Amino acid sequence: MANLRAPKVRRQPVSVTRKMSASLPGLRQLAQERGLRIHHLGAGYPHPEVTDPRGFLAHQARYFAHLEAAEGLNDPSTVPEHLRESFSYTDTLGPVTTRASFARVYGSDWGVALDPARLLPTVGATGGISLACSLFERPGIPIAYITDAPTYAGFLARAGLCQHARIFSVDMDEEGPLVERLREQIRTARAAGYHVPFYYTIPDGHNPAGFSFTQRRREAILEVARSEGILILEDAPYLYISYLDAPTRPRPFLAMAPEQTVHLFTGSKIGFPGPRVGFLYTEADVEIDGGETVPLLDLLLVESSGDILFQNPGALRGFEALLHDADFAERRSLWPVAEEKLAVYRENRQIMLEGLERGLGAWPDLFHWTHPQAGFFSVFTFRTPGVRTDDAFVGRLVAEHGVVVIPMYDFYAADARERNPAAGYDQLRLSFCFSESMGAQRRRDLASAVDAFCSAARAVAGVG
């Protein structure tokens, strides 16, 4: 018997996406034994067609060569600045050139003047979530995290690591979280003795809810955050994966109120997930122990330097290349970079929405799905009595129809399921971002995946 102990350490529950990938090989075999093709509507990863790094690597090499030429080095023994910097210790804020460039380009895209000194590199948005949680968990007092019902699985996983944190979730309608419920949850948590640092959300292309918050709702949320004195932790991976025309795009909280917001940018969707480039930005000041008011960023910077200490300067300088065009001029906008990805996602979204309409549009009383304004997902709801989208249901969809989807129930925090034990058990998350095939074959595969899903849904509901 082991004599090593980990007092009070708890085993964390396995997420539904991990369970799904673990059970997939067996289910896949069952489906194949029945002669069924496997259709992917489950994975939430960037599409391989837009994540081939070779074009980027060639551009990065040319950008670095351009920087070297600009240095005018004649002595071959002198190491070029970008190379020296990329392979040295940097400070916790990372290379200043990358932050200066990103502040200008991102700030101009979203109509906000960003101070590069307040841009803190993170290990993707995941690192930003973790950093924000760690800071407020550090004093060891009971913490309440306010978030949506449903919310991002990665946030549930991170929040679940802290044994003195509890989630207070807020139900949503088609515009966003219900603001009265938001206020109520903040007050309920406080009355129960919890400190409430922030409301965590994904206003654009919500994962997993499959829609974006309206501008009107954002303003109402901000009013609650201001009057209650809490931050908005804005996770923004899909800001540029947008299907709306510029004038109709709602504004990120970053642009509406940088002093009330902790904004998380990630390079994972507009660039590549592997390099794990992200930035946290905030102009908030907070009152700390002893009554002093300090910039939140200073606290986060110390937290970050105690955590990962040094960012990856090579990855950040690589991201800097992405901020420059083929002639090495700093981009005026990241939208042209996004457009290369959007061409595929826009098309996939249309194939999915048209396929659902064609296959199930005749039964609006039985089926509903969201029309995402951004992001990778549509949430499908069975309005059919008696349907329960649990693991067994999702397993049957694979084994009997070859269709892989993700059930929604696991994206609801425990308190949401206490309020409504059936929360999410009538929903599925359909993703249109990922498939193994490219080009015309990708289009055909997605169309047949949606058709297979529709015939499965009709069979479940007993229609058609």
Residue 237 engages ligand PLP in binding (rule: CB under 6 A): yes
Among 154, 160, 295, 314, binds ligand PLP (CB under 6 A): 154
CB 176 within 8 A of CB 234: no
Q: Which amino acid is at 32?
A: Q
Choosing from 169, 268, 311, 370, the residue that interacts with ligand PLP (CB under 6 A) is 268
Distance set, CA 173 to CA 43, 201, 294 (Å)? 25, 14, 36
Out of 95, 150, 210, 278, the only residue in the binding site for ligand PLP (CB under 6 A) is 278
Strands 231-235 and 261-266: parallel
In the region spanning residues 80 to 139, those forming contacts with ligand PLP, defined by CB under 6 A, are 124-126
- For residue 102, give the nearest of 89, 118, 87, 90 by alpha carbon: 118
8 phi/psi in degrees, rounded to 5: 65, 0
Between 133 and 202, whose beta carbon lies closer to ligand PLP? 202
- Compute the distance between CA of residue 235 and CA of residue 264 in angstroms, rounded to an integer: 5
CB of 90 or CB of 201, closer to ligand PLP: 201
Return the number of the residue (148 or 426) whose C-beta is nearest ligand PLP. Answer: 148
- Residue whose CB is nearest to ligand PLP in the complex, by number: 124
DSSP label at 265?
E
CA distance 136 to 129: 11
The stretch near ligand PLP (CB under 6 A) out of 2-10, 110-118, 265-273, 398-406 is: 265-273
User: Closest separation between CB of residue 390 and ligand PLP, Å?
Assistant: 23
Binding-residue total with ligand PLP (CB under 6 A): 14
Would you call 455 exposed, middle or buried from its count of C-beta atoms within 10 A (0-12, 13-18, 19+)?
middle
- Return the number of other C-beta atoms located less than 10 Å from residue 100's C-beta: 17
- Pick from 152, 240, 243, 345: which binds ligand PLP (CB under 6 A)? 152
Q: Cβ of residue 407: shortest distance to ligand PLP, in angstroms?
A: 17
Start-to-end CA span in the chain (Å): 59
**What count of Cα atoms within 13 Å lies in the side-chain half-sphere of residue 303?**
22
Out of 109, 137, 234, 235, which residue is the one contacting ligand PLP (CB under 6 A)?
235
Give whichever of 144 and 264 is closer to ligand PLP, judged by the CB atom: 264
Alpha helix segments (H runs only) across 364-438: 391-401, 414-419
Minimum distance from CB of 266 to ligand PLP (Å)? 3
Task: Say whether 138 sits in a helix, a strand or coil.
Answer: coil
CB of 433 to ligand PLP, least distance (A): 9
Give yes or no for a contact between 452 and 358, defined as CB atoms under 8 angstroms apart. no
Binding mask 281-320 for ligand PLP (x = CB under 6 A): ----------------------------------------
Minimum gap (Å) between residue 1 Cβ and ligand PLP: 39
34-53 binders of ligand PLP (CB under 6 A): 44
**Rounded to an integer, what distance in angstroms lies between the CA atom of residue 376 and that of residue 308?**
30
Taking the least distance from each CB to ligand PLP, the nearer of 202 and 366 is 202
Tokens 């090495």 sit on residue: 328
Question: Which residue, 269 or 317, has its beta carbon nearer to ligand PLP?
Answer: 269
DSSP secondary structure code for residue 330 in this structure: B
In terms of CB distance, is 124 or 313 closer to ligand PLP? 124
User: Which residues bind to ligand PLP, rule: CB under 6 A?
Assistant: 44, 124-126, 152, 154, 202, 207, 235, 237, 266, 268, 273, 278
